[in-house]
Amino acid sequence: MVAGRYDIIEEGPPRGPRRWAGIAVLAAILAVPVVVLLASREPGAVPRLPVPVPAPSRADVQETPNVLYPEPRRDGGREILDVVFPDGSRARIDYPADLGLARLGVRPALGGWLDGHPGPHRQLTVPSGGPAGVAQGRPMIRKMTERVTLWHPMSPAEGEVLLFAFDPWYVALRDLKTGMAFEQRMLWARNLRGRVTRSGYLVLTARPPLRLARAGEFRGGEPVGPQLWFGGARETLLVLAPVPGCDVTAIELPVIRERRRFSGEACRDGVYVAASGEQDKVERVIAGVGVRRLP
């Protein structure tokens, strides 16, 4: 019979001296690590425990309003607001006081793109809830600059989100599924600028190669110039967009179309006015809102 690598063959019980010798050898072997460990420790030293590695956790981001509630003036039964678009242009709007448009809150929106870089334009919007609305409980991916962070997609159909902080506003660029290259994201992060007016409106500017859309510009068949959004979600949504030579038959806003609710539109002094929501409210908004451009 041939013994294998781990086979043990024993004939009869072990005999006296051999048995005690084996036990002595085994005890000596086991004692060596203990002696080494004790010798390596200084008197009074406390054993060091492994440093714990934190597991990824949900984002601890506080929700912020991220919307402006302007204070209207009253003139009889109407309210008056002097608004500032994200390109810095201004307009005066008035409406029946019972519509309460100022109480809906207002947020800016604007399109932009990188000159000399292929690809469609990107839309800058202001997410409800600020960073918490973008995070949706997930951790931030990384910081791009001191004011710009990168977050996970807000839906499976989209790409990652660049979030810009222009205190107290937060502006989101929700990328396409294909997404921009890292270098292109850095161009956005380094060259988009924002300032807040005394009345609280956000004005955006850009350095080349980043370019922001001007009033009346179209990309891919949709207007991408400066806009102001009043309300939204389950409320009535009112959109104001300066469009020189405004023609309602040639304009369609995705933010209105995608709500799949009753909508109406009009042109007032070169400003496109569109509303979506309950039919009665929309009809009253379109009929009652007046707009006048300011120098």
- What's the confidence (pLDDT) of residue 61? 82
User: Taking a C-beta distance cutoff of 8 angstroms, is the pair 221, 204 a contact?
Assistant: no
- What's the confidence (pLDDT) of residue 59? 53
DSSP at 152: -
Q: What is the 3-state secondary structure (H, E, C) of 191-256?
A: HEEEEECCCCCEEEEECCCEEECCCCCEECCEECCCEEEEECCCCCEEEEEECCCCCHHHCCCHHH
Residue 72: asked if its preceding bond is cis (omega within 30°), the reply is no
pLDDT digits (tens, 9 = 90+) for 22-39: 434 444 444 444 333 334
CA distances from 288 to 66, 73, 283 (A): 27, 16, 8
| C-alpha to C-alpha distance for 200 and 69, rounded to whole angstroms | 9
Closest CA to 191 of 113, 127, 117: 113
- What's the confidence (pLDDT) of residue 18? 43
| C-alpha to C-alpha distance for 75 and 93, rounded to whole angstroms | 12
Backbone angles phi, psi at 2, to 5 degrees: -110, 130
Count of C-beta atoms within a 10 Å radius of residue 207: 11
Structural domain spans, the chain: 73-125+192-294
Closest CA to 107 of 265, 238, 254: 238
Q: Indicate the SS3 state at residue 104.
A: helix
pLDDT digits (tens, 9 = 90+) for 229-272: 999 878 899 999 999 999 999 999 999 999 989 999 999 999 99
What contacts 176, CB < 8 A, 6 or more positions away?
120, 122, 158, 159
Q: Give the angle subtended at the CA of 267 by the CAs of 232 and 121, to the nearest 5°.
A: 60
With a cut of 50, list the residues of the chain below it in pLDDT.
Answer: 1-57
The H or E element containing residue 119 is none
